[in-house]
Structure 1
Amino acid sequence: MTANRALSSTSRKSAWIPATFVGAMGLVVAVNVVMVYFATSTFPGLDTDKAYVHGLAYNDTLRRAAASDALGWTASAAVSDGRLTVDVRNAAGSPVPDLALQGAIVRPTTTMMDREITLSADPAHPGRYAAELDLPAGGIWELRLVAGNAPGGTAWQWTDRVIVP
């Protein structure tokens, strides 16, 4: 009977080893499940849909950007009281009137808040264009504009970061 007590006592003392192993593996699985959830439910890092297709036409994109840069136009943008204003100047510093400016204002960190915008010419100020903004958050935004009716059939494109109060 003494031998049975010694064996029983030893098995009870070592019963924690498999329980600890199973508990540790359960913890590892639980942490991995949480990490997989957050990895698949947050920002995927994609800036554009169909990135591969856009990449195939990258040389055309570079040609259009070079043609736009060759115009020598500059712009400045400001956001105040929910209104975006953009002043466009040509290479000589004169205002550029009668453009059809369209584009987007996007968040650098997520695509969920992106907004398409169309700017209208300000009749009182040649070369100035404006649009009303209804943005869900303040902070840094990226403004991407295109004027498809630039001289010579060139599509003038411009990108800048703006701070929305």
Structure 2
Amino acid sequence: MTEKLWQAFVLIIIIVLTDFLDGYVARKAEEITNFGKLIDPVADKVCMMVVLIYLIISYKLPFLIFFLTLAIRDIFLIIIGVYLMFSQEEVFQSNRSGKWFIGISALMMVLFLFKNPLNIPSYILWTSYLISSLLFMFSTFEYIRRYLRYFKQLETR
């Protein structure tokens, strides 16, 4: 395997492990804060974006539209999250489908990274891409529904 491939793989493993450990320690220590609820998903997305950029540049993988759509959605969610944190002192945690999306997307990126050395069939690669895209759309719908419901409740107060 090439050195670039190993670097990308190690980067993904570090991202996944530190994210898991961070959440585990926060829950065990009962140190869950609004700032943590906001910054943890942001950190996840930034790390994912870094890996996607790396894959796009280094391996010429066709993730540019996926990357841009994800970036626009996440900027929107971050703005809403920051607004709610400062105006309502409330921050929503990531939804379950969003967590699944991150996990499946990480798997998808690893599959694309190792497609040549492991001879991974293209139907597996594109199925993982499709599942990741569907989870992205579903989690986006859930976030929109959650925020609309919340803002509607604010109006009735």
Q: Give the TM-score band, short-chain normalised.
A: under 0.3
Higher relative contact order (CA 8 A, sep 6+): 2
Flag the structure with larger Rg.
1
TM-score, structure 2 as length reference: 0.26
Normalised to the residue count of structure 1, the TM-score between the two structures is 0.25
Determine which structure has the larger strand proportion and give its number.
1
